[in-house]
Amino acid sequence: MTETDPHRPPAGLSADPITEGARARARGRPRDACPYPQNSPERTAWLEGYDGSPADRAPDQPLTNG
C-alpha cells in the first residue's frame, strides 16, 4: 500500500496553486473551476493566480486628475 503526501497537490495540479490558477484563466476555464476546497489556503492562492492580484490587497482606487 502506498501512502499519499498530504502536502502534495492533487493529481494534475502543479505544486503552485497561483500558477495553476493563472493557467486555468489563460485556458479559458471558469473561475469556479478551482479544484481546492472552500476556505483553504490553496483555494485562496489559486484564485489569486486566476484573478492576477493578491487576495489581501485592497482594490486600486480610480485615478483622478487633481
Q: Classify residue 3: in a domain, yes or no.
A: no
What is the rounded distance in angstroms from the CA atom of residue 45 to the CA atom of residue 9? 13
Q: Classify residue 66: in a domain, yes or no.
A: no
Q: Classify residue 65: in a domain, yes or no.
A: no
Q: Classify residue 39: in a domain, yes or no.
A: yes
The reported pTM is 0.64
What is the rounded distance in angstroms from the CA atom of residue 66 to the CA atom of residue 55? 29
What is the rounded distance in angstroms from the CA atom of residue 38 to the CA atom of residue 44? 9
Q: Classify residue 58: in a domain, yes or no.
A: no
Give the closest residue to 12 by CA, choosing from 54, 51, 27, 61. 27
Tell me: the pLDDT tens digits for 5-32? 555 555 655 679 999 999 999 999 999 9
Q: Classify residue 10: in a domain, yes or no.
A: no
* Grid cell listed for 17: 496553486
Q: Classify residue 6: in a domain, yes or no.
A: no
pLDDT band (50, 70, 90) for residue 54: confident
